[in-house]
Structure 1
Amino acid sequence: MAEILDTRADETAALTRACEALDRGVPVAIPTETVYGLAADATNPQAIARIYEMKGRPRFNPLICHMADLAMAERHAIFDPLSRTIAEAFWPGPLTLVLPIRPESAIHPLARAGLDTVGIRVPTGIASDLLSAFGRPLAAPSANTSGRISPTTARHVAEDFGAKLELVLDGGPATVGLESTIVKVEGETIRLLRPGGLDAAEIERITGRPVIRKEAGAAIEAPGMLASHYAPDAPVRLGASDVRPGEVLIRFGGKALPGEAEAALVLDLSPAGDLAEAATNLFGYMKQADATGASSIAFSQIPMTGLGEAINDRLQRAAAPRG
């Protein structure tokens, strides 16, 4: 089992230990405000290859590269004025920008899946401190087996990877609970590649421009664009208006459904109907539901407004047919 270090008890010791492992090319699981990430030196191809191997992730699926700040990001990517406006408004935070890679960047092509662009994010908290201490970008997809439920606690990570992982930094539960929102600026157009922990309406408010949703079947330009993703073992049923015997129900807004008495478990993402609270609870509740061994997991209807767009995106991928 992986060594788990509580960053809240001794951050300096945890960062020193993590930097030592990263210098050796060993991936380290780290807390971010979105979900826990499996981090490795983005300039080291052997370290990046270990991420793909540990996750069982297809190598055509690029990795987000995390930066300590905008200045570090500028050393690796080319910012147009509109992308810079968005970065300055929302970094650090749950936003990833897909940008042209600088020719002189040391980020290895394996982290970019060979693309001439790179997805960049500036996180908050302990992840930011680690990036500053390490001094190089970290490629850090979610710290889980590819296609499975994303982890929001150190325990989730350790249970998934077991002895395959050397070190987990424990920073407590993720506060956002959904992966970052990914956008790409093309000329004067802002395209949403993946909805996430930043409401796209906030980007529209800051820029005064509409955020265009991606077309179905679009080429993979960023993480989280595979049709089947974030999936538990149990089948997922969406838009449930009742509960079948033996199912787990995950509902929203405190609204009871017919048949709840026969459910294996009933969870409510947010009894108050708060979409931010629902986003924080989503992956943890999915793991809790899956652990019951129930025949299926039913989700009641969740609004498509605000963060509901990202929640529904994750649920649709969790319910998609699996290869």
Structure 2
Amino acid sequence: MVAMVLHRIHTPLVQEERPLPTPGPGEIRVRVEACAVCRTDLHVVDGELPDGTYPIVPGHEIVGRIEAIGPGVTGHRIGARVGIPWLGHTCGHCPYCEAGHENLCDHPEFTGFTRDGGFATHVVADASYAFPLDGFDDPVEAAPLMCAGLIGWRSLRMAGDGKRIGLYGFGAAAHLLAQLLRWQGREVYAFTRAGDTAAQDHARHLGAVWAGASEDAPPELLDAAIIFAPVGPLVPLALKAVHKGGRVVCGGIHMSDIPAFPYSILWEERQVVSVANLTRADAVEFLALAPKAGIRADTITYPLARANEALDDLRHGRFQGAAVLIP
């Protein structure tokens, strides 16, 4: 097999030949068809997440075909297409797992961070965290759903049922979530970096009723705002944009420091909450909903060997939608 390997943070990935892995008990080996490139992969490369494992093969928005099945696995078959997300394993016995909050597990494993991920031709996954993708005919289009789609769905559930929803940072997650919101009959307000007319045009093309710079005030106060950009100063801006009782959801795994802000913009029962990982129930719900909503990922593809280029293009915002690696 071939893998793009991160040996040390702040260094380029290195292409390596490795022996084909054998799945252990409860595991499957998947031949990767496509793996989307997520901003979390940049956080891994930049060492912005604690307790990482190195060397590591990044990548956690994986779509592929099951090639081998380990002992004790049921419910999967050779040749079936599956999706593999960020949360790659949970202990099942900590207080959070037992309470149905496996996304907060005390002893988790994360695909592409603490266990090898999908920037490769093959990956071994916990069979319990591989989701059937029957009916998803295009692996490239399905790959971004496995994180950008899933974390967007969980963020939206935490944002509530309001009509006017602001999306700060119009990248992979926001462009998928905008389609779901429009299908639900809600209004999308897109916030981008100042001067990023390409992202604003993309948002309008996907049905946003308004698009502007993050520093701009929307034409109407919002019911909720979701922040996908890892930029702490967006939190007070979003608080100013929501009405009384509104909620600001921080949808990323990493964010720069949130600056001090006056209590007056939090008062009147506004809330700031964060989203952590996902549950398997989130994945089942969203993957059933995505085809009904007609969600289509806008993608740009790169061969596996150009993973470093894809990461750099993501870092500098050189494309709209999602980048996808193809082995």
Q: Please indicate, yes or no, whether the TM-score normalized by the shorter chain is above 0.5.
A: no
Greater strand proportion: 2
Q: What is the TM-score when the length of structure 2 is the normalising length?
A: 0.28
